[in-house]
Structure 1
Amino acid sequence: MSTQMKSPVLDASLPEEEPLGARRGERLTALAQQHGALVALLLTVLIASVSFEAFPTSDNLGNMAVGSTFLAIVALGMTFVIVTGGIDLSVGSTFALGGVLAAWGSQYGTLVALLLPLAVCGLIGLVNGLLIAKSRLAPFIVTLAAMLLARGILLAVTDEGSTTYLVEERSFLATLGEESLLGVSLLVWITAVLFVLGALALRRSRFGQYVYAVGGNEDAASLMGAPVARTKIAVYTLSGLCAGLAGALNAAYLMSGVTILGVGMELDAIAAVVIGGTLLTGGFGFISGTLAGVLLLQVIKNIINQIGSLDSSYQQVVSGAFLAVVVVAQTWLGRKRRML
């Protein structure tokens, strides 16, 4: 009576299938990292709508949407930088500089008002990228120096902040800040278009693949032929352009180039990106998550204003506490994914 034996060679050649529970757990963990900010945003909006009568009104929602646009555009560029594993501390100062340059340039026409802040702020981002990619300097130090440089240029242009340039009332720049389309501010439409383009670039383009590869493992990306230096230069240039554009649009909204804006904005942008699920270590992040993070910070700010008895400092307390919770949750989810 013969007994059928299994071939050890055949057994060794067959890969073990991953358990269904492990695959399901990995998918759930990834979804939590990607959409956690959106879930928190929806729950916060629901609670605020029930708690405050003025919160769900069209005027309040419209004001929140417009107020979110400038930080959102800055955070859009910051997302690309952080996905590569970098950081950009100069965006707050370049945002303020872009607004001042746009207001100053509006007296010479719309083309100057829009191109001047983009050119100057984009150049600052380009220099950041060159120093980081080519000279291999630390992004923290390089962008910190750029922050001081941009703020210094701002003070020089405005005579130590004593001069405030006004946007020409009949200019196209003023139209961008005042007009609406289908009942929605043009600023919101511009931001929405930028986020759609940013999401397509990050998720559907070769450039986006390079961004993820550089953030995931720079050495491995280089061995695979990815243009590591060029990708870093591109993302820092993009960050500068986004900050400059946000500043120009803010000048259009306020009808002036306010010199005191942008202080601490880089921290808000980083917080929004991290809350949205992008890892500070790089290699993982989503544009949609960044938008959810920005809106969540704006909703928290609005809720504090609705309460009335709390001053603006509580916004920083709540935002900081929320950011700490998100970072801890991301670390735990990342470890869980590696274990699955």
Structure 2
Amino acid sequence: MTAHTEEAGVPAPTVEAAGDAPPRTDRSERLSALAQQHGALVTLVIAMVVASLSFDTFLTGDNLENMALSSAFLAVVALGMTFVIVTGGIDLSVGSLFALGGVLAAWGSRYGTVVALLLPLAVCGLIGLVNGLLIARVRLAPFIVTLAAMLGARGLLLALTDEGSRTYLVDKESFLATLGQGTLLGVGVPVWITLALFAAGAVALRRTRFGQYVYAVGGNEDAGALMGAPVARTKITVYTLSGLCAGLAGALNAAWLASGVTILGTGMELEAISAVVIGGTLLTGGSGFISGSLVGVLLLKVIQNVINQIGSLDSAYQQVVSGAFLAVVVIAQTWLGRRRRVL
């Protein structure tokens, strides 16, 4: 039963009887949001506990170090991908840019560490900038533009390496090699660089005006433009950032391997997208978490490591499990999103 009073022509607040209390939608919505944001972290913890109980070698220092290092390079790529996907876009070129960045870093190492680092950043960043311009200014589809960039970057890579027959080496005594192979407090330098980049990325996405623009463009581009968000500039920036991250990851990987390996990066764009989505970022844009992408990368690497620990399974099962896991996550995200809209 509802009672209404009016004073000065303004209705008083409605008083609901005990039996007519509204459903607890706030609590349900919070639970759905927590599941989307922290579900990957809970799954990661469970996976690590099960793996540590099942395999004696899982929690050894060498195994954890190898997982951390192999995760670092993919994580840097996933960092740039997170910004792109939050805007509602996609970047299929990062795998080829990763490989190209490694080759450019190894080639440039003969001229010093500065050239070895700046060259892949300049070239890969420029390709990302072109992607952003075509998507934002010419209004081409991100899928088509970045697919073309993926093929173009791979072609440039093959041209630089004589169809892959030439491998450029990094002097193991150089600072570049130390940057990739050195340790700080017992942890590889690439891991520290990755953590620093993720901290900066989290601040940029959650605490800056640019981050607000990224969310606004991904949530509703037209509404964001009406609110004053520079839609085109934001898109150009995130695709440039994605190219820079892919090039840097490739340079760090070349420093770690002491060579520019031409066959790397194939399928890496799909791994990066998987990690970002598993971490809670919606493919439709407008919602995402930097920390979630890091958790998604770690979860993928734990799954791959467990399959390697089993030993009797072929490495192809890594792709099968990762694909199935991604499908489950996307279905769960879709269900949670619909549930929150209903509530």
TM-score normalized by the length of structure 1: 0.96
Change (3 A) 1:128 1:14: farther
1:172 aligns with 2:172: no
Which position in structure 2 is the counterpart of 1:262? 265
1:330 aligned partner: 333
**CA–CA separation in structure 1 for the residues paired with 2:202 and 2:53:** 32
Q: Give the residue type in structure 2 aligned to 1:35.
A: H
Q: Secondary structure at the match of 2:11?
A: helix
Q: 1:279 is matched by which residue type in structure 2?
A: L
Aligned equivalent of 2:5: 6
Distance in 2 between residues matched to 1:159 and 1:314, nearest whole Å: 33
Instruction: Give the counterpart letter for 1:319 in structure 2.
Output: S
Q: How far does residue 7 in structure 1 lie from its aligned partner after superposition?
A: 2.3
Q: Which residue matches 2:311? A: 308
Task: Tell me the equivalent position of 1:23.
Answer: 26
**CA deviation vs aligned residue, 1:195-234 (integer Å, no higher than 9, x gap):** 0000010001100000000000000000011000000000
Q: Does 1:201 align with 2:184?
A: no
- The C-alpha deviation readout for 1:41-60, integer Å capped at 9, x for no partner, is 00000000000000011111
1:107 to 104, 107, 110: 110
Alignment match of 1:118 (pick from 118, 121, 130): 121
Match of 1:213 in 2: 216
- What is the RMSD of the two structures over their aligned residues, measured on CA atoms? 1.6
Measure the CA separation in 2 of the matches of 1:22 and 1:103. 56
Say whether 1:88 aligns with 2:91: yes
Structure 1 residue identity aligned to 2:272: A
Which ranges in structure 1 are unaligned for 5 or more consecutive residues?
Answer: none
The whole-number CA distance in structure 2 between the counterparts of 1:226 and 1:289 is 25
Partner Cα distance (1:68, 1:75) in 2: 10
Across the two proteins, how many residue pairs are aligned to each other?
336
TM-superposition CA deviations, 1:243-298 (whole Å, max 9, x none) = 00000000001000000000000000000000001000000000011001000000
**CA distance, structure 2, for counterparts of residue 5 and residue 255 of structure 1:** 77
Corresponding residue number in structure 2 for 1:134? 137
1:51-70, Cα deviation, whole Å (9 max, x unpaired):
00000111111110011011
1:35-94 CA distance string (max 9 Å, x none): 111010000000000000000111111110011011000000000000000000000000
CA, structure 1 residues 21+118, in 2 after alignment: closer, same or farther (shift >3 Å)?
Answer: same
Alignment-derived partner of residue 319 in structure 1 = 322
Question: In structure 1, what is the Cα distance between the partners aligned to 2:295 and 2:92?
Answer: 21
SS of the counterpart of 2:24? helix
CA distance in 2, matches of 1:271, 1:178: 27
Aligned with residue 254 of structure 2, among 231, 251, 256: 251
TM-score (norm 2): 0.95
Task: Give the C-alpha shift of residue 20 in structure 1.
Answer: 7.0
The 1-side partners of 2:272 and 2:203 are apart by 20
Are positions 1:39 and 2:42 aligned together?
yes
Write out the 4+ residue segments of structure 1 that deviate beyond 4 Å after TM superposition. Answer: 12-16
Q: Quick one: structure 1 residues 5 and 26, their matched pair in 2 at CA, closer, same or farther if it must change by over 3 Å?
A: closer
What residue in structure 1 maps to residue 242 of structure 2?
A: 239
Amino acid at match of 1:222: A
